[in-house]
Amino acid sequence: MEFLRPRTWNEAVAVKAAHPEALALAGGTDVMVELNFDRTRPASLLDLTGVDDLAHWALDGDVLRLGAGVTYSRVVDELGFALPGLATASRTVGSPQIRNRGTIAGNLGSASPAGDAHPALLAAGAEVEVESVRGVRHVPVAEFFAGPKRHVLEPDELIKAILVRPASGPQEFAKIGTRNAMVIAVCSFGLALHPHARRVGTGIGSAAATPRRALDAERFVSEELDWQGRGPLPDGVARRFGELVAHAAEPIDDGRGTARYRVHALAVMARRTLGWAWAAYRKG
């Protein structure tokens, strides 16, 4: 197996063009598991951890650029204010060791329906900045997933950054697991209030072939909420929102939970997270 270790981003993109079969390696918390189990045997590994500046984040105009090397721990420690939904999601990932190594970009690269970053990124309306020698393109996270563990990257493309606006309103993330830490999501839900746009963003995890938004629920609740007057959240609205989120899911029965439970739990999480976010919004 060849081990490719570029030093600069341009070099990385060039190497990927020359070796489209090379498997990108960030924190390795998914890749090394796959290799150890002999589930994948790539001809070469493209280690991105030596690339300068990839592990940085910065505000670029009104958008935050999260370099592909930014780990969960960094998000928890440094971006709790700017990206509260993603930070809450990051806190639920694995153990401290995994959070220190694992990256948000790696979560996207694996494209697991259960990836914890995805619902938060969906709700926040993030985009993935993708680059190859052919150029740069921006893929909304909602269009990034192509199926279970599949995404829309071309073989010569790499994720360079994740672009997301800092939160303009409260954000929440909730995840069901059958133990209280270190658990793969049975299902999960991300929610973001975008008060300027008077819009609510959502993301559903682990309850369909890919992470997805609950569009009907977003439309419904965005219209029902009293953005101007910051009035209380009618119980019926919260409930209906929960139902619509549940409707958007297409879960299966598996060893981690039943479809029925996932549908039910999504409705509860959606209702609760909306309540928390709205209460925070009302407080200003």
Partner 1 sequence: MPAPSTSPAPPAAGTSTRVTGGVGESARRPDGALKVTGEFAYSSDLWADDMLWGATLRSPHPHARLTGLDIGPAVAMPGVYAVLTHDDVPGRTVYGLERADQPVLCDGIARYHGEPVAIVAADHPETARRAASRIVAEYDVLEPLTDPRRAIDPASAPRVHPTGNVVRHLAVRKGDFETGLDVAAEVTVTGEYEVGMQDQAFLGPESGLAVPAEDGGVDLFVATQWLHVDRDQVAACLGMPPERVRLTLGGVGGAFGAREDLSMQIHACMLALHTGRPVKMVYSREESFFGHVHRHPAVLRYEHGASRDGLLRYVKAEIVLDGGAYMSSTPAVVANAATLGVGPYDVPHVSVDCWGVYTNNPPCGAMRGFGAVQAAFGYESQMDRMAAELGLDPVEFRIRNAMSEGSTMPTGQAVDSPAPVAELLKRVSSVPLPPRERGDDGYDLRELPGGVSNTTHGEGVVRGVGYGVGIKNVCFSEGFDDYSTARVRLETVDGRPVASVHTAAAEVGQGLVTLLVQIARTELGIDEVTILPADTEVGSAGSTSASRQSYVTGGAVRAACEAIRERVPDPASLPDGEVVEETVEWRHRPTSPLNEHGQGNAHVQYAFAAHRAVVDVDTELGLVKVVELATAQDVGKAMNPDAVVGQINGGSAQGLGLALMEEVQVSGGRIGNPSFTDYLIPTILDMPPTRVDILELADPEAPYGLRGVGEPPAISSTPAIVAAVRAATGAALTRIPIRPEHILDLSGVSEGERT
The reply on whether position 152 binds ligand FAD by CB under 6 A is: no
Out of 24, 83, 174, 208, which residue is the one contacting ligand FAD (CB under 6 A)?
Answer: 24
The reply on whether position 102 binds ligand FAD by CB under 6 A is: yes
Residue located via tokens 């839900």: 189
Residue with the CB atom nearest ligand FAD in the bound state = 109
SS (H, E, C) 1-31: CEEECCCCHHHHHHHHHHCCCCEEECCCCCH
Binding mask 162-191 for ligand FAD (x = CB under 6 A): ----------------------x-------
Nearer to partner 1, 69 or 170 (CB): 170
Chain residues that interact with partner 1, rule: CB under 8 A:
37-38, 88, 91-92, 172-184, 186, 207, 216, 246-251, 255-265, 268-269, 272, 276
Total chain residues near ligand FAD (CB under 6 A)? 28
Out of 15, 25, 244, 248, which residue is the one contacting ligand FAD (CB under 6 A)?
Answer: 25
Find the shortest distance in angstroms from Cβ 20 to partner 1: 26
Per partner kind, with CB cut-offs from 5 to 8 A, the member of ligand FAD, partner 1, none near residue 63 is: none
Amino acid in the structure at residue 127? E
Distance, in Å, from the CA atom of 241 to the CA atom of 274, rounded to the nearest integer, reads 8
Q: What are the CA-CA distances from residue 68 to residues 113, 124, 162, 168, 277 (Å)? A: 19, 17, 7, 23, 28
Question: Which pair of structure tokens corresponds to residue 230?
Answer: 């910051």
Per partner kind, with CB cut-offs from 5 to 8 A, the member of partner 1, ligand FAD, none near residue 216 is: partner 1
